[in-house]
Amino acid sequence: MSASDEEQERLEPRVGPVPTGDPEFRPYHHPAAGWGAAKSVTQFLVREGALVDGPRAIKRMNHEDGGFDCPGCAWPDDTKGLHLDICENGIKHVTWEMTRKRVGREFFAAHAVTELRGWSDYDLENQGRLTEPMVYDPETDHYVPISWKDAFDVVGRALRGLDDPDQAAFYTSGRLGNEATFLYQLMARELGTNNLPDCSNMCHEASGRALTASLGTGKGTVDLKDWEATDALFILGVNAASNAPRMLTALADAYDRGAQIVHINPLVEAAATRTIVPHDFTDMALNKATRTSTLNLQPRIGGDMALLRGMAKAVLEQSPTDPKALDREFIDRHTTGFDEYRALCEATPWEEIENQSGVSRADVLKAARVYRDADRSIVSWCLGVTQHEHGVDTAREIVNLLLLRGNLGREGAGPSPVRGHSNVQGNRTCGIDHRPGEEFLSRLAEVCDIEPPREHGLDTVATIKAMHRGEVKVFVGMGGNFALAAPDTPYTYEALRTCDLTVQVSTKLNRSHLVHGREALILPCLGRTEKDHQRKGVQSTSVEDSMSMVHLSVGMKRPASPHLLSEPAIVAGMARAALPDSATPWEWYIEDYDRIRDTMAQALDGFEDFNRRVRLPLGFRIKQPARELVFRTPSGRAEFSVAALPDVVPAPGTLALGTMRSHDQWNTTIYSDNDRYRGIKNLRTLVFMNRDDMRERGITASAPVDITSTAKDGSRRHLNGYLAIPYDIPRGCAAGYMPEMNVLCALGDYSTQSDQPIMKHVKVTITAVR
Ligand SMILES: Nc1nc2c(c(=O)[nH]1)N[C@H]1C(S)=C(S)[C@@H](COP(=O)(O)OP(=O)(O)OC[C@H]3O[C@@H](n4cnc5c(=O)[nH]c(N)nc54)[C@H](O)[C@@H]3O)O[C@H]1N2
Ligand SMILES: Nc1nc2c(c(=O)[nH]1)N[C@H]1C(S)=C(S)[C@@H](COP(=O)(O)OP(=O)(O)OC[C@H]3O[C@@H](n4cnc5c(=O)[nH]c(N)nc54)[C@H](O)[C@@H]3O)O[C@H]1N2
Ligand SMILES: [Mo]
């Protein structure tokens, strides 16, 4: 690639499709979901040529007696066994996988990799489903077909040729089913490495660490029944209408029941207004919207911790005169560290809380009042809380607040992180963890008769650094689009290109196939919607949702190509090639996934009797000790944390930029350039700004601006010519879309608490293009 091409790739990553018209910005005033969603779905089905197959498949989605799990987000299925709890984005997601378009060998013969690099990410994925294994041929700069056997040999040879197993890294994107996950981590550990970076390292690592430190288990404690029973919901840093649309149903039901719903987000997102529940046909017909919010607070970016501290302070201030403000009995019986926490709250002045949160004392008190008046509260959060320097402290502050009123271990109360990918939580449960615990490893060692390494492995950021230094030479991506999803795009590209071998197990063509190592393989796999035939018949896989429910998913479609293998089969193929003398019965496992589940039942905590329980109509819930008020913490109690409030106020002249998703995208998969609920059409290269911040900088509406980020180490990164959109966002804050804005995220800017890249608080200056 020439220097100027490279420069181009750095500065102008074009992710979305070619716009169909001029950019438009018109504030959105309609309810979330409803007819807008229905229309968007129909247009999408027509475009993908799936008007018949699409609806047929969707009918089998999230079905209590069979069918496949929606491969979209991790929101749980309705507890009542509702047959059709679906959403606009779930439908798009499934249809995107089921497309009739195919990327066969002719396609790769016609287009050199260097040419494809000039294509947008949308165009790459839009070519359709991958159909057979391909290997990069450096002579011609084309991908050419390779047999599965030869492909596995390439992987096996590279892995066997390493001086040290830690020279390999095995990435997981959170869709991988539990059975494939278990085999994948087993392969890595049998090889001798814990280098298991995953998308969780960019997502909810902070939540896991916070909950483990506070409660002893790294997951939320509530389920949908609790959502149905709670009196107050506090929703922080989630764009639910786009990213967990089925939460809208829960919010509307809560509102109808008279529950309080407080949204805490610098942006007033669509889910914080009103919705028409898409499967409620009468509401649809009557265009009847239900409110989904009783109070909206707009903290500054990173201001949540101060706001939560303010709520706690208010409750504590009230406690001398209001004996019911605190649950003293709960605090005394189940927690430790309360006195220190109370002292800390008392010592934190209101001025600091107001300044750091960006919310007035009066408004903090409003939220505190809701919290005090509710018998049962749930706090739910997503990336707006986690992708920060102090994500762990903030998630722990959420727990602090809950503990004050005993909002734990009883119906309708507790912490409820909203996980991302459909099985990202299951991946962790089944062993994808670069810092595995001794208990897990020793049990794995015993059950699987392997000697797993004990030292911690590399996470996402550390893997990129190690590849860049030439220390990790083989990179395997089990799904996902690592090149684009990871921070610091040009640096990550360089890192991947330094590898001896990159292997991507994928359903669709994406950037990570074009930014590759010296040798490169594309291994196409079955999608979740497809029938998985193995020796003992059609197989199912299991997944775990955000609320710890594990259930089976059975594909029903004919595979996109007869040459696809399932993910478990691909893992087994790679494992056998890399570990020819392995005693693990890889081939035998693949004949019947019940056999994998039988081993998992022995190796994993909470999976006893796995094969039977997973076949119950709604699956089963993994035991949550904290829910039973059993805390696996050093003290055996729930632990209050006492962290100082961080300084999140932007320095003069600078802004805090949050990178986020538009409505019409799934992480690095872009469906269109529209962001319906935020009123945007035909535009992704934009930055939402406060009007006063724009005025101060002489920036007019929709004018082009240059954005420069300054990393912790002082290095600068740029995006040029983005359009500034005036938006209802607090002063000092700005927002725009991932993955484009990963160019601005320095690899070194990860949280010292969670090692998560700081994707929601990038320090930037924004200037008008002169
Ligand atoms: N349709 C669709 N669904 C998805 C995805 C997708 O791309 N498309 N991705 C999936 C994945 S992997 C994940 S992890 C989840 C992500 O789900 P979200 O967490 O909703 O993802 P983001 O779009 O990054 O939005 C973050 C939200 O946080 C807010 N925010 C930003 N900074 C702050 C802050 O400092 N404080 C607070 N309180 N809020 C803040 C933003 O305004 C925005 O509303 O969604 C999953 N579901
Ligand atoms: N700046 C910024 N960056 C971010 C974020 C942010 O908020 N801001 N969010 C981060 C988060 S939360 C996440 S989770 C990551 C997402 O990171 P990833 O999970 O790595 O990325 P995706 O875009 O979800 O991956 C899409 C690709 O997955 C493949 N795929 C789809 N279905 C399947 C399947 O069933 N099997 C297999 N093997 N492959 C499949 C397709 O080839 C598709 O191209 O991005 C992170 N990056
Ligand atoms: Mo995520």
Residue 82 has a pLDDT of: 39
Distance, CA of 760 to CA of 734 (rounded, Å): 10
Task: Note the pLDDT tens digit of each residue in 586-641.
Answer: 999 999 999 999 999 999 999 999 999 999 988 999 989 999 999 999 999 999 99
Residue 252 has a pLDDT of: 93
**459 and 497 fall within a common domain:** yes
Distance, CA of 188 to CA of 183 (rounded, Å): 9
Distance, CA of 739 to CA of 736 (rounded, Å): 10
C-alpha of residue 238 to centroid of ligand 2, in Å: 18
Distance, CA of 407 to CA of 405 (rounded, Å): 5
Higher confidence at residue 55 or residue 458? Answer: 458
**CATH number of the structural domain spanning residue 764:** 2.40.40.20
**393 and 460 fall within a common domain:** no
Residue 3 has a pLDDT of: 43
Question: Residue with the nearest Cα to atom 14 of ligand 2?
Answer: 199
Q: Is the pLDDT of residue 55 over 70?
A: no
Confidence of residue 84 (pLDDT cuts 50, 70, 90): very low
Distance, CA of 400 to CA of 392 (rounded, Å): 12
- Which residue is listed with tokens 């550990």? 189
Q: Is the pLDDT of residue 11 over 50?
A: no
DSSP letter string, 718-735:
EEEEEEEEE-S--TTEEE
Residue 87 has a pLDDT of: 73
C-alpha of residue 270 to centroid of ligand 1, in Å: 13
Residue 283 has a pLDDT of: 67
Task: Indicate whether residue 297 lines ligand 1 (CB < 6 A).
Answer: no
Task: Note the pLDDT tens digit of each residue in 155-177.
Answer: 999 999 999 999 999 999 999 99
Q: Is the pLDDT of residue 680 over 50?
A: yes
Boundary residue ending a domain (396, 417, 438): 417
* Number of compact structural domains in the chain: 3
Q: Is the pLDDT of residue 4 over 60?
A: no
C-alpha of residue 658 to centroid of ligand 1, in Å: 10
Boundary residue ending a domain (392, 417, 442): 417
Task: Note the pLDDT tens digit of each residue in 380-439.
Answer: 999 999 999 999 999 999 999 999 999 999 999 999 999 988 899 999 999 999 999 999
C-alpha of residue 201 to centroid of ligand 3, in Å: 9
Given ligand 2 and candidates 481, 482, 511, 717, which is best to mutate, with the most ligand atoms within 8 Å of its CB?
A: 481
**193 and 247 fall within a common domain:** no
CB 509 within 8 A of CB 124: yes
Rg (CA), the chain: 25
What's the rounded mean pLDDT across residues 663-690?
95
Q: Is the pLDDT of residue 88 over 90?
A: no
In a domain, 515, yes or no: yes
In a domain, 62, yes or no: no
User: Measured from the CA of 244, which atom of ligand 1 is nearest?
Assistant: 47
CB 555 within 8 A of CB 531: yes
User: Measured from the CA of 381, which atom of ligand 1 is nearest?
Assistant: 19
Task: Indicate whether residue 667 lines ligand 1 (CB < 6 A).
Answer: yes
User: Measured from the CA of 303, which atom of ligand 1 is nearest?
Assistant: 35
Residue 59 has a pLDDT of: 60
- Residue 479's closest CA among 432, 527, 518? 527
Kindly state the tokens that stand for 537: 């018949």
Confidence of residue 716 (pLDDT cuts 50, 70, 90): very high
Task: Indicate whether residue 665 lines ligand 1 (CB < 6 A).
Answer: yes
DSSP letter string, 280-333:
-HHHHHHT--EE--SEEE-PPTT-HHHHHHHHHHHHHHHTTT-TTSS-HHHHHH
Task: Indicate whether residue 420 lines ligand 1 (CB < 6 A).
Answer: yes
Distance, CA of 684 to CA of 675 (rounded, Å): 8
C-alpha of residue 75 to centroid of ligand 1, in Å: 13
- Residue 536's closest CA among 593, 577, 621? 593
Kindly state the tokens that stand for 659: 């990178």
Question: Residue with the nearest Cα to atom 33 of ligand 1?
Answer: 384
Range(s) of the domain holding residue 262: 205-417
Distance, CA of 32 to CA of 536 (rounded, Å): 45
- Residue 265's closest CA among 230, 220, 234? 234
Task: Indicate whether residue 746 lines ligand 2 (CB < 6 A).
Answer: no
Task: Indicate whether residue 236 lines ligand 2 (CB < 6 A).
Answer: no
Distance, CA of 729 to CA of 63 (rounded, Å): 39
Distance, CA of 760 to CA of 311 (rounded, Å): 23
Confidence of residue 737 (pLDDT cuts 50, 70, 90): very high
C-alpha of residue 173 to centroid of ligand 2, in Å: 6
Task: Indicate whether residue 741 lines ligand 2 (CB < 6 A).
Answer: yes
Given ligand 2 and candidates 668, 684, 687, which is best to mutate, with the most ligand atoms within 8 Å of its CB?
A: 668
**522 and 553 fall within a common domain:** yes
What's the rounded mean pLDDT across residues 724-748?
98
Task: Indicate whether residue 527 lines ligand 2 (CB < 6 A).
Answer: yes
Q: What angle do CA 444, 450, 453 make, to 5 degrees?
A: 80
Kindly state the tokens that stand for 331: 């605090």
Task: Indicate whether residue 510 lines ligand 2 (CB < 6 A).
Answer: yes
Using a pLDDT cut of 70, give the percent of the chain over it: 93
C-alpha of residue 157 to centroid of ligand 1, in Å: 40
Boundary residue ending a domain (620, 637, 665): 620
Q: Is 768 helix (H, G, I), strand (E, B) or coil?
A: strand
Distance, CA of 195 to CA of 435 (rounded, Å): 9
User: Measured from the CA of 510, which atom of ligand 2 is nearest?
Assistant: 44
CA atoms within 13 A on the CB side of 549: 26
**149 and 235 fall within a common domain:** no
Task: Indicate whether residue 597 lines ligand 1 (CB < 6 A).
Answer: no
Which residues lie across from 763 on neighbouring strands?
656
Task: Note the pLDDT tens digit of each residue in 282-341.
Answer: 666 667 788 999 999 999 999 999 999 999 999 999 999 999 999 999 999 999 999 999
Task: Indicate whether residue 89 lines ligand 1 (CB < 6 A).
Answer: yes
CB 378 within 8 A of CB 232: yes
C-alpha of residue 243 to centroid of ligand 3, in Å: 10
In a domain, 243, yes or no: yes
> 297 vs 307, 359, 515, CA distance in Å?
10, 7, 42
**262 and 331 fall within a common domain:** yes
Task: Indicate whether residue 222 lines ligand 2 (CB < 6 A).
Answer: no
In a domain, 627, yes or no: no
In a domain, 632, yes or no: no
Task: Indicate whether residue 236 lines ligand 1 (CB < 6 A).
Answer: yes
**CATH number of the structural domain spanning residue 381:** 3.40.228.10
3-state helix, strand, coil in the chain (%, to 5): 40, 20, 40
Given ligand 2 and candidates 505, 564, 667, which is best to mutate, with the most ligand atoms within 8 Å of its CB?
A: 667
**555 and 685 fall within a common domain:** no
Residue 36 has a pLDDT of: 73
For ion ligand 3, residues whose CB falls within 5 Å: 203, 420
Q: Is 736 helix (H, G, I), strand (E, B) or coil?
A: strand
**463 and 545 fall within a common domain:** yes
Task: Indicate whether residue 264 lines ligand 1 (CB < 6 A).
Answer: yes
Higher confidence at residue 172 or residue 56? Answer: 172
User: Measured from the CA of 669, which atom of ligand 2 is nearest?
Assistant: 23
C-alpha of residue 385 to centroid of ligand 1, in Å: 9
Task: Note the pLDDT tens digit of each residue in 474-527.
Answer: 999 999 999 999 999 999 999 999 999 999 999 999 999 999 999 999 999 999
Q: What is the DSSP letter of 562?
A: T
Q: How many helices (H) and strands (E) does the chain have?
A: 32, 33
Confidence of residue 256 (pLDDT cuts 50, 70, 90): very high
Residue 61 has a pLDDT of: 62
Task: Indicate whether residue 383 lines ligand 2 (CB < 6 A).
Answer: yes
In a domain, 75, yes or no: no
**427 and 535 fall within a common domain:** yes
Task: Among 76-90, 705-719, 723-737, name the one with the lowest average pLDDT.
Answer: 76-90
Residue 311 has a pLDDT of: 98
In a domain, 61, yes or no: no
Number of the ligand closest to the Cα of 265: 1
User: Measured from the CA of 301, which atom of ligand 1 is nearest?
Assistant: 35
Number of the ligand closest to the Cα of 760: 1
- Residue 141's closest CA among 116, 120, 124, 123? 116
Confidence of residue 1 (pLDDT cuts 50, 70, 90): very low
**285 and 372 fall within a common domain:** yes
Task: Note the pLDDT tens digit of each residue in 209-223.
Answer: 999 999 999 999 999
**285 and 170 fall within a common domain:** no
The distance in angstroms from the start CA to the end CA of the chain is: 31
Task: Note the pLDDT tens digit of each residue in 348-394.
Answer: 999 999 999 999 999 999 999 999 999 999 999 999 999 999 999 99
Pairing, β 32-33 against β 274-276: parallel
Report the mean per-residue pLDDT for the chain.
92
Q: Is the pLDDT of residue 741 over 90?
A: yes
In a domain, 16, yes or no: yes
Residue 14 has a pLDDT of: 81
What's the rounded mean pLDDT across residues 525-550?
94
Task: Indicate whether residue 668 lines ligand 2 (CB < 6 A).
Answer: yes
Higher confidence at residue 503 or residue 27? Answer: 503
Q: What is the DSSP letter of 536?
A: T
pTM (2 d.p.): 0.94
Task: Indicate whether residue 528 lines ligand 2 (CB < 6 A).
Answer: yes
**234 and 335 fall within a common domain:** yes
Q: What is the DSSP letter of 706?
A: E
